[in-house]
A and B are shown apart, each in its own frame.
Chain A
Amino acid sequence: MPVSAIIMLVIGCVVLYGGLAYCISRAIRKKDANTKTE
């Protein structure tokens, strides 16, 4: 596969799955913080 295709693959994965992982981790952290406060 051309290098340019691999670069687009990496960009796609970082934006979509990296972004999703970040948002989910943030939601989990917030949930943990709420649980501790309660």
Chain B
Amino acid sequence: MNNQRERWTSRSSFIIASIGAAIGLGNVWRFPYICYEHGGGAFLIPYFVALLTAGIPLMILEHGLGREMQAGAPSAFAKVRKGTEWVGWLGLMVVMLILLYYPVIAAWCVNYIIFSFTLGWGADANAFFESDFLQLSTGPGILGGIRWPIVIGLAVVWVGIYLCLFKGIKALSKIVVYTVIIPWVILVIMVVRGLTLPGALEGLKFYLTPDFSALLKPGVWLAAYGQIFFTLSLAMGTMIVYSSYLPRRTDIANSSFIVSLANCGTSFFAGFAVFSTLGYLAQAMGVGVPEVTKSGLGLAFIVYPTAIRLLPFAALFGVLFFILLITLAIDSAFSQIIPYIAGFTDKWKFNRKRVLPIVCIGGFLIGIVFTTRGGFYWLDIVDYFANTFGLTLVGLLECIVIGYIYKAHKAREYINEVSEFKIGRWWDICIMVITPVILGVSFIWSLILLIQKGYGGYPMWATFVGVGITVGIVVLSFVLMGVRGKEE
């Protein structure tokens, strides 16, 4: 057993890996839509405010915590104060939930790469996705049979993840260079192609034209903070464990700015690929841009394939688009597995090489639930509870633990000692007041909406299952904290 902590080969490897962790599917399929829906170009104002007052401060906090404590999230929080270890475990439990369904989306993309060669979704991409590909059951209560093409795709994805990770952080340092740069190259190709299509400017008009009256709506500001919080992969323990692999005397503040700005810059850029193509699709269909605008899975598997089918060299662009989504998903999967494994290896000194196959095989087997005909509904439910309640709660607790228990000024002094530029008292205010207040309001607001309306039109029992899973992972976090570690 090797107790020596692994290290990134260089600071740039750490930054690239962190950027890869932060950039995910949401950058392509969520930000452009949120921006369009909440005031177009005017949304950039609350978005930048949220980036500066919550995103970057939390990124600095997580990088600083991991660097100083040289441990994954649970052990890092345990070093702050023994009783707060469960906060780190809670983050990892939320990650565990996300890790179960995220590779399933990548598995859909694997299938769609094959469909791209023949444009297999045909003229009606919606019917193909729901009826032919997923073969959706009537609701979450009916799982139906397993969809074997998705299971095979899932196996391919998990084998790929295992092969990328089994050699450790040093090998990952080299792999992330490709998995981060490939999506950027594809995005550039898609933006250039999109902007040269007829109708592209009409699409961009919807993306960028500001509606300043939207700034008066509290919902727009909450959406901006929510988008920033989720897009940077905060509260998952990822940034904590990534920075724990940094050598001593490595900058924190500037690296955090670079990672955050690169992530948001990617989102902004992806909007040009998405809205130029939507403008083209709207013109080709003879409808308005709002009628073809969707976010999330609807954009990736329905609207975009419909647009791709109308392009010259459609098969090529189909393959490129789904490779883009796979590389984004794989990077995010790395960033979910590494903190998860580090949590166990740090506390119980397990051999990482033995834990990794167990996690991969376990993730694959449990993930099969999401490959059933009713799996789509469960993917949606688990995603909602993990992100809306799980991550928000962990982010809130992180701010309280560092801001009030560890003391924000103490953390800031440490960060300033090693950083290329010093952060001021503004950071203390962000960590102690602004971020926890926003996250607290967001959590309570979501809870009220859930109690009033349930979620997504699903039966109430399905909502209770979601609540049960959320409460269950909180309990599990305390149990894991209570189990004696090997270092004790």
B partners with A: yes
Query: Interface residues, chain A, CB within 8 Å of chain B?
Result: 1-2, 4-9, 11-13, 15-17, 19-20, 23-24, 26-27, 30
Binds A, one of B165-173, B253-261, B335-343, B473-481: B253-261
Known interface pairs A13-B268, A20-B258, A23-B261; 11 further A-B residue pairs with C-beta atoms within 8 A, sorted by A's residue number: A5-B204, A5-B209, A8-B44, A8-B208, A8-B209, A11-B44, A12-B268, A15-B48, A16-B264, A16-B265, A30-B251
Query: Chain B residues near A19 (CB, 8 Å)?
Result: 257, 261
Q: Provide the bound-state CA to CA distance between A5 and B262, in Å.
A: 22
Q: Provide the bound-state CA to CA distance between A9 and B44, in Å.
A: 9
Does B210 have its Cβ within 8 Å of any Cβ on chain A?
Answer: yes
DSSP majority for the A interface? helix
Query: Chain B residues near A8 (CB, 8 Å)?
Result: 40-42, 44, 208-210
Say yes or no: B41 contacts A4, CB within 8 Å: yes
Say yes or no: A23 contacts B257, CB within 8 Å: yes
Q: Which residue from chain A places its CB closest to the CB of B264 in the assembled complex?
A: A16
Does B420 have its Cβ within 8 Å of any Cβ on chain A?
Answer: yes
Q: Provide the bound-state CA to CA distance between A26 and B262, in Å.
A: 15
Query: Chain B residues near A20 (CB, 8 Å)?
Result: 258, 261-262, 265
Q: Which residue from chain B places its CB closest to the CB of A19 in the assembled complex?
A: B261
Question: Please, what's the 1-or-0 string for B37-55, where 1 marks a CB less than 8 Å from any CB in chain A?
Answer: 0001110100010000000
Say yes or no: B208 contacts A1, CB within 8 Å: yes
Give the shortest distance, in Å, between A20 (CB) and chain B (any CB). 4
Say yes or no: B41 contacts A9, CB within 8 Å: yes
Say yes or no: B204 contacts A1, CB within 8 Å: yes
B:240-291 near A, CB below 8 Å = 251, 254-255, 257-258, 261-262, 264-265, 268
Say yes or no: B208 contacts A16, CB within 8 Å: no
Does B159 have its Cβ within 8 Å of any Cβ on chain A?
Answer: no
Q: Provide the bound-state CA to CA distance between A17 and B272, in Å.
A: 15
* B258 CB contact (under 8 Å) in A4, A11, A24: A24
Say yes or no: A27 contacts B254, CB within 8 Å: yes
B:4-42 near A, CB below 8 Å = 11, 40-42
Which of B40, B208, B210, B262 gathers the greatest number of chain A CB atoms within 10 Å? B208
Q: Provide the bound-state CA to CA distance between A15 and B52, in Å.
A: 11
Q: Which residue from chain B places its CB closest to the CB of A8 in the assembled complex?
A: B41
Q: Provide the bound-state CA to CA distance between A2 and B42, in Å.
A: 13
Say yes or no: B209 contacts A4, CB within 8 Å: yes
Query: Chain B residues near A7 (CB, 8 Å)?
Result: 41
Q: List 28 A-B contacts (CB under 8 A).
A: A1-B205, A1-B208, A1-B209, A4-B209, A4-B210, A5-B204, A5-B205, A5-B208, A8-B44, A8-B208, A9-B41, A9-B208, A16-B265, A16-B268, A19-B261, A20-B258, A20-B261, A20-B265, A23-B254, A23-B257, A23-B261, A26-B254, A26-B420, A27-B254, A27-B255, A27-B258, A27-B420, A30-B254
Q: Provide the bound-state CA to CA distance between A6 and B287, in Å.
A: 24
Query: Chain A residues near B254 (CB, 8 Å)?
Result: 23, 26-27, 30
Give the shortest distance, in Å, between A28 (CB) and chain B (any CB). 10
Does B404 have its Cβ within 8 Å of any Cβ on chain A?
Answer: no
Give the shortest distance, in Å, between B119 (CB) and chain A (any CB). 31
Does B421 have its Cβ within 8 Å of any Cβ on chain A?
Answer: yes
**Which 10 pairs of residues, A with B, have the shortest CB-CB distance?**
A8-B41, A5-B208, A20-B261, A16-B265, A5-B209, A23-B257, A23-B258, A19-B261, A30-B420, A4-B210
Q: Which residue from chain B places its CB closest to the CB of A13 in the assembled complex?
A: B268
Q: Provide the bound-state CA to CA distance between A19 and B265, in Å.
A: 10
Give the shortest distance, in Å, between A35 (CB) and chain B (any CB). 13
Q: Which residue from chain B places its CB closest to the CB of A21 in the assembled complex?
A: B261
Does B201 have its Cβ within 8 Å of any Cβ on chain A?
Answer: yes
Query: Chain A residues near B209 (CB, 8 Å)?
Result: 1-2, 4-5, 8
Q: Provide the bound-state CA to CA distance between A5 and B36, in Å.
A: 12
Which of A2, A23, A24 gathers the greatest number of chain B CB atoms within 10 Å? A23
Q: Provide the bound-state CA to CA distance between A36 and B6, in Å.
A: 28
Say yes or no: B48 contacts A5, CB within 8 Å: no
Give the shortest distance, in Å, between B110 (CB) and chain A (any CB). 32
Q: Provide the bound-state CA to CA distance between A10 and B257, in Å.
A: 20
